[in-house]
């Protein structure tokens, strides 16, 4: 009997992301579980330069396209299907929680840098995911 059936892995697409997906993929294989990936692109909305509003929607589209391509590259060695790779615009913690619920994921895997001091006080995505999740969360300690 497998412990987990569907693992959702939140990736920031940093250099450390392969470490996170490697752990998640190993868990998925050991549990014969489905593996889904998600990257959250934070919204740029509008920036104001003086009195003239600047529409950043084209830049937002480029960010999403780049994220889609990066996620595709990360997913390739693990044969993760397109429909199991998610790019969402929003606030990372809330979107990860919402997607986990929507997919009925029973484990969320995220990377953690193990920051201390001011960075710890300000919080992190991993910490936010952990404290609001309705399911198990695995924080993978990444090495910089």
Closest CA to 1 of 25, 31, 41: 31
Global pTM? 0.87
Tell me if 60 is assigned to some domain: yes
Tell me if 27 is assigned to some domain: yes
Give the pLDDT confidence of 12-36 residue by residue, as tens digits.
999 999 999 999 999 999 999 999 9
> Tokens 């609001």 belong to which residue?
132
Give the pLDDT confidence of 79-102 residue by residue, as tens digits.
999 999 999 999 999 999 999 999
Give the separation between CA 65 and CA 60, rounded to whole angstroms.
9
Give the pLDDT confidence of 56-80 residue by residue, as tens digits.
788 888 999 999 999 999 999 999 9
What is the span of the domain harbouring residue 65?
A: 6-141
Number of domains in the chain: 1
Tell me if 1 is assigned to some domain: no
Closest CA to 142 of 3, 8, 13: 13
Q: What is the CATH number of the domain that holds 102?
A: 3.40.50.620
Give the separation between CA 54 and CA 57, rounded to whole angstroms.
9
Tell me if 90 is assigned to some domain: yes
């Amino acid at each position: 009997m497998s412990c987990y059936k569907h693992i959702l892995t939140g990736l920031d697409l940093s250099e450390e992301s392969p470490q996170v997906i490697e752990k998640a993929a190993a868990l998925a294989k050991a549990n014969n579980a489905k593996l889904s990936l998600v990257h959250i692109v934070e919204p740029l909305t509008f920036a104001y330069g003086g009195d003239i509003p600047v529409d950043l929607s084209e830049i937002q589209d480029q960010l999403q396209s780049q994220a889609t391509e990066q996620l595709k590259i990360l997913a390739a060695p693990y044969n993760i299907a397109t429909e199991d790779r998610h790019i969402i615009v929003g606030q990372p913690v809330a979107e990860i929680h919402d997607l986990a619920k929507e997919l009925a994921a029973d484990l969320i895997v995220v990377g953690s840098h193990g920051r201390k001091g001011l960075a710890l006080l300000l919080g992190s995505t991993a910490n936010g995911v952990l404290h609001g999740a309705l399911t198990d969360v695995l924080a993978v300690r990444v090495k910089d």
